């Protein structure tokens, strides 16, 4: 690995650690409460209002809580969720909580059923992240799942996070894909 790349990885590692520490200061209930106003802003975004097919994510404990939001919007829009397959993400349509199974590796619930192949029909993607910056750069959990996925998709990309996750600057490498918008509170 080049020295530059090593520095970037090291800095990302430091930020992941720092964010983990900050998030520990909030209870799950507090994070759920903060999530409500973040998602309210998202609902006011023209790109979200107009979107017919949206890719969301089924949140895990330290993320902006999306479960109720997904259940609510699945009645009005086609909601796609990611499924972990080795190093890549498959896309599947959300068809209710009862139609989910624990995914491989991380145990995040994922829809059962066929893979959604019409990627070009996705209008908006909500992207989770560990930190974002004012230039709309994003860093994730370090497995590059979203970097690989977003490479091939033309949907409007919205990063979503708590306000303490927006930094002046996050380190990026050539693979990292910028967001079109960041929604936070």
Ligand X SMILES: Nc1ncnc2c1ncn2[C@@H]1O[C@H](COP(=O)(O)OP(=O)(O)OP(=O)(O)O)[C@@H](O)[C@H]1O
Instruction: Convert 13-46 into a string of H (helix), E (strand) and C (coil).
Output: HHHHHHHHHHHCCCCHHHHHHHHHHHHHHHHCCH
> Is 106 known as a binding-site position?
no
Q: Is 89 in the site for ligand FFO (CB under 6 A)?
A: yes
Q: How far is the CB of 3 from ligand X (least distance, A)?
A: 14
Q: How far is CA 37 from the centre of its chain?
A: 17
> In this structure, is the dihedral angle defined by the CA atoms of residues 107, 72, 151 and 169, taken in order, positive or negative?
negative
Q: Is 14 in the site for ligand X (CB under 6 A)?
A: no
Options 38, 91, 122, 139; binder of ligand X; rule CB under 6 A:
139
Q: In terms of DSSP bridges, do strands 109-111 and 100-102 run parallel, antiparallel, or are they unpaired? A: antiparallel
> Is 141 known as a binding-site position?
yes
Of 33 and 135, nearer to ligand X (C-beta) is 135
Q: Could you give phi then psi for residue 94, rounded to 5 degrees?
A: -75, 125
Q: Is 144 in the site for ligand X (CB under 6 A)?
A: yes
Three-state DSSP class for 116?
coil
Q: How far is the CB of 174 from ligand FFO (least distance, A)?
A: 18
CA angle, residues 168, 81, 27, in degrees to nearest 5: 55
> Is 78 known as a binding-site position?
no
C-alpha 23/C-alpha 36 separation (Å) is 17
Q: Is 63 in the site for ligand FFO (CB under 6 A)?
A: yes
Size of residue set near ligand FFO by CB under 6 A: 16
Q: Is 147 in the site for ligand X (CB under 6 A)?
A: yes
Would you tell me which residues interact with ligand X (CB under 6 A)? 12, 139-148, 151, 173, 175-176
Judged by the rule CB under 6 A, the positions of this chain that interact with ligand FFO are 57-60, 63, 82, 84, 89, 106, 108, 128, 140-141, 143, 145-146
């Amino acid at each position: 690995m080049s020295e530059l790349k090593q520095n970037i990885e090291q800095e990302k590692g430091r930020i992941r650690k720092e964010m983990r520490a900050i998030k520990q200061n909030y209870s799950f209930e507090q994070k759920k409460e903060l999530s409500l106003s973040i998602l309210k802003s998202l609902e006011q975004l023209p790109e979200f209002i107009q979107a017919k097919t949206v890719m969301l994510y089924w949140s895990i404990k330290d993320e902006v809580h999306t479960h109720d939001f997904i259940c609510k919007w699945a009645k009005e829009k086609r909601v796609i969720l990611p499924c972990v397959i080795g190093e890549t993400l498959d896309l599947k349509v959300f068809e209710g909580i009862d139609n989910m199974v624990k995914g491989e590796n991380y145990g995040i619930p994922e829809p059962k059923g066929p893979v959604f192949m019409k990627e070009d029909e996705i209008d908006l993607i909500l992207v989770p992240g560990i930190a974002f910056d004012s230039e709309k750069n994003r860093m994730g959990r370090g497995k590059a799942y979203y970097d690989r996925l977003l490479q091939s998709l033309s949907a409007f990309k919205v990063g979503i996070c708590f306000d303490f996750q927006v930094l002046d600057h996050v380190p990026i490498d050539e693979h990292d894909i910028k967001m079109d918008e960041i929604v936070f509170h």
